[in-house]
Amino acid sequence: KQEVTQIPAALSVPEGENLVLNCSFTDSAIYNLQWFRQDPGKGLTSLLLIQSSQREQTSGRLNASLDKSSGRSTLYIAASQPGDSATYLCAVGNSGYSTLTFGKGTMLLVSP
C-alpha cells in the first residue's frame, strides 16, 4: 500500500527566505504527483501537477521536482512571503488506481 510522508511537519522562516518542502513515497509506480495548498478551515488549492514522465514543474515562485526512482518530490518556494503561510500537502496518483494518496502536510509560517 502506498505511503506518503512529508518532512518537516512544521516550518517557520523569516520573510524572503528560499525554502524546500519534502515529500517521499514508498511505491514508485505512480501516474503523477500533485502539490496542494490549504489555508485554515478552507479547501485545497492545486499548486502543481507533475506527470510521472516529467522531472519538474514551475509556477511563479514555486518549483516542484520529481524523482520517481528514489520516491521523492520537493517543492521549492523562492523569496517566501507572509502570504505563503499555509499547510502544503503532497498527493500521489497511483498507477492502476484512480485515487490519490495524501501526506499529512507541512505547516509553513512565514513571518514578516
Partner 1 sequence: DGGITQSPKYLFRKEGQNVTLSCEQNLNHDAMYWYRQDPGQGLRLIYYSQIVNDFQKGDIAEGYSVSREKKESFPLTVTSAQKNPTAFYLCASSRTSGGHNNEQFFGPGTRLTVL
Q: Which residues bind partner 1 (CB under 8 A)?
A: 31-32, 34, 36, 41-46, 49, 51-52, 89, 91, 93, 96-100, 102-105
- Shortest gap between Cβ of 20 and partner 1 (angstroms)? 20
- Looking at this protein, which amino acid is placed at residue 28? S
Tell me the C-alpha distance between 54 and 35, whole Å.
14
Residue from 100, 85, 92 nearest 6 by CA: 92
What's the maximum distance between 2 C-alpha atoms anywhere in the chain? 45
**Nine cell digits for residue 72:** 521523492
Nearer to partner 1, 13 or 44 (CB): 44
- Comparison of 66 and 80: residue with beta carbon closer to partner 1: 66
Query: In the numeric block, which cell numbers belong to residue 2?
Result: 502506498
Q: Which C-beta is closer to partner 1: that of 9 or that of 78?
A: 9
Sheet architecture: strand order including 56-59:
4-7, 19-25, 72-77, 62-67, 56-59
**Shorter beta-carbon distance to partner 1: residue 71 or 105:** 105
Least distance to partner 1, CB of residue 13, Å: 22
Q: How far apart are CB 48 and partner 1 at their closest, in Å?
A: 10
